[in-house]
Amino acid sequence: MITCSAAEGARGVLGTGSYVPSRVMSNKDMNTLSGVHEVAILRKTAIRERRWAEPEQATSDLAIGAARAALGQAGISAAELGLVIVATSTPDSPQPATACVVADELGVRPGTAAFDVNSVCSGFTFALSIAERMLNGTSPEYALVIGADVYSRILSPTDRRTIVLFGDGAGAVVLGRGGRQRLISTRLASFASARELIGVPGGGSRLPATEGTLREGKQYFSMDGRGVTQFIETHVVPGIKEFLKDNGVSQDDIAHFVPHQANGRLLESMSEQLGIPSERMVTTVTRYGNTGAASVPITLDHLVRSGSVTPGDLTLLAAFGGGMSMGLTLMRAG
């Protein structure tokens, strides 16, 4: 477990952005694909629809859309960036890093550092912490941090439990001196003994893609839903409470709670267990489903653009995902 408190003069969020594909997949569409009744999907997940990428769209395309929106709000150009990090578990390809594709398409300066982070659905919070630490040196001045995933490409059409949950999208932030929201503290943790709860077993060096692995469906995402719920109750909820206590913050001090949008019913339970009123929990899961590493930055962008954040407000980002991993970030609006 790593906990980092922001240094004097720490950087903050200058701009946020998000992008989702135009293709809407309603619960009725999912019923046609999976056989799960649309009423059951809504009852069990609170998801009404999600967005899926078009065949010609890859993760980098979504990431670029979110990046341009964040750069626009921040009022800086891509040429001013010194760092680009993309958090994703669905890269365009195993190599090169999707961040390099994004950096090139945005037109960053030659020599700008660009790399990927894979902590599955916690990826954005991990990448955000890394970027903030790197910016506290003498350079670079600005960093672009993106969470982007295209989960529709790795879902098994026969897995009724997962195909209804996931959507595609990207969210981004630009970090720099000052900023709309200052990062106060972050905590990153992994629980590797539980790594089997979520994963894509095929396609790597352990099980390279072959006719056999494809026939067995090893290229598809799998998740132990009950095990994930137990993980959240055992590690995430207590971890959030401990994180707040260590920062001298109570649940009542949190103005905006931005959790990973895993499942609407799961979020309702988390809110209750944490003692954070549901009206202070920001959600996009009903419209977009679970967008992996993109879910926290997409939801943060919706919060920022809603105009409901006022100076002094504390915002808590809380992500959890495969690994198993947990990333927490506390921010204060300037």
The yes-or-no answer on residue 121 being catalytic is yes
The yes-or-no answer on residue 256 being catalytic is no
In a shared domain, residues 116 and 258: no
User: Considering the domain boundaries, does residue 296 fall inside one?
Assistant: no
User: Considering the domain boundaries, does residue 196 fall inside one?
Assistant: yes
Which pLDDT does position 8 carry in this prediction?
Answer: 44
Instruction: Say how far apart CA 272 and CA 278 lie, in whole Å.
Output: 8
Assign 233 to helix, strand or coil.
helix
Which pLDDT does position 6 carry in this prediction?
Answer: 64
The yes-or-no answer on residue 290 being catalytic is yes
In a shared domain, residues 31 and 100: yes
In a shared domain, residues 98 and 202: no
Torsion of CA 236, 153, 88, 18, to 10 degrees: -90
Chunked into runs of 10 residues, the chain (334 residues) has average pLDDT values of 64 95 97 94 96 98 98 97 97 97 97 97 97 80 97 94 96 91 95 95 93 94 94 96 96 97 96 95 98 98 96 97 96 94
Active-site pick, 27, 260, 263, 302: 260
In this prediction the pTM is 0.96
- Which structural domain range is residue 229 located in? 185-290+303-333
Active-site pick, 121, 256, 263, 302: 121
In a shared domain, residues 271 and 217: yes
In the structure encoding, which two tokens stand for residue 72, read together? 């626009």
Instruction: Say how far apart CA 62 and CA 23 lie, in whole Å.
Output: 13
Q: Concatenate the DSSP letters of all residues of 1-62 into one string.
A: -EEEEPPTT-EEEEEEEEE--S-EEEHHHHHHHH---HHHHHHHH---EEE---TT--HHHH
Which pLDDT does position 180 carry in this prediction?
Answer: 83
**What does each C-alpha distance from 157 to 35, 57, 247 come to in angstroms?**
10, 19, 44
Instruction: Give the tens place of pLDDT for each residue, 239-251.
Output: 999 999 999 999 9
Strand bridging mode 83-87 / 49-51: unpaired
Active-site pick, 118, 256, 290, 302: 290
330 phi, psi to nearest 5 deg: -110, 130
Which pLDDT does position 138 carry in this prediction?
Answer: 59
